[in-house]
Amino acid sequence: MTQLTAPATDSPSPAPPVPQTDGRTSERPLPIRLLARPEIGVFLGAAAVYVFFLIAAPPVREGAAMANILYSSSTIGIMALPVALLMIGGEFDLSAGVAVITSALTASMLSYQLTMNVWVGVIVALLVSLGVGFLNGWMVVKTGLPSFLVTLGTFLILQGVNLAVTKLVTGNVATDDISNMDGFSQAKKVFAASFDIGGVDVKITI
């Protein structure tokens, strides 16, 4: 006797599960997302300090005072910018400050002790700075050590070299004045130019 069976039918596929949201993964409002960014916090802090001094110290409102503030801040900002870029990338350079002193001493001693044009000292100092940066990067990549430790070692080495070499060459821990050396006036126009805007002496530092 033949047994009859119902034809096979495709069972419907189950519906995909609906993702559960508990508020932590939901889209946050734009103001909250902006406040979560570190650069926004820094900007708000700088704006608060600026507004405070505008109210508490009326001389800050003058153009000449603001030009002096910006000029003084530029010496810090020039160093802060590359260090901040390193920190954004998860690295840190402890030798940046002492490397600046090394390059300045190199330019000064080449110009004064070796009686070379200031531009020669500037170019050699730039090469020395690039060499220090290359050495730090190469050591971090090759050894796998944290950049904090590598640049700390570079900091200590450069600090000792600065004192020892300067004392050996000049007989002192400071270099001589090179303001009257050949090429100084041209270099000053490029790296420390100043001009007048509305009666305010504006200085540019590179």
In tens, the pLDDT along 29-58 reads: 877 777 777 778 778 888 898 899 888 888
In the structure, how many helices (H) and strands (E) does the chain have?
Answer: 7, 2
Residue 56 domain-assigned (yes or no): yes
Q: What is the pLDDT of residue 45?
A: 86
Q: What are the tens digits of pLDDT across the range 86-127?
A: 887 888 888 888 998 999 899 888 888 888 888 888 899 999
**Domain extent at residue 107:** 91-205
Cβ proximity of 146 and 93 under 8 Å: no
Q: Do 67 and 155 sit in the same domain of this protein?
A: no
Residue 44 domain-assigned (yes or no): yes
Cα separation, 70 vs 50, in Å, equals 12
Q: Do 67 and 107 sit in the same domain of this protein?
A: no
Q: Do 67 and 41 sit in the same domain of this protein?
A: yes
Mean pLDDT of 130-145: 92
Nearest to 181 by CA among 123, 125, 110: 110
> 63 by DSSP, 3-state: which?
helix
Q: Which two tokens stand for residue 205?
A: 């530092």
Cβ proximity of 158 and 92 under 8 Å: no
Q: Tell me which of 50, 75, 100 is where a domain ends.
A: 75
Q: Tell me which of 16, 43, 75 is where a domain ends.
A: 75
Mean pLDDT of 135-163: 92
Q: Do 118 and 61 sit in the same domain of this protein?
A: no
Task: Give the max Cα distance, the chain.
Answer: 121
Q: Average model confidence (pLDDT) for the chain?
A: 79
Residue 8 domain-assigned (yes or no): no
Q: Do 115 and 174 sit in the same domain of this protein?
A: yes
Residue 167 domain-assigned (yes or no): yes
Comparing 14 with 86, the larger pLDDT belongs to 86
Nearest to 94 by CA among 163, 154, 157, 158: 154
Q: What is the pLDDT of residue 134?
A: 94
Q: Tell me which of 45, 75, 105 is where a domain ends.
A: 75
Residue 12 domain-assigned (yes or no): no
Mean pLDDT of 15-36: 66
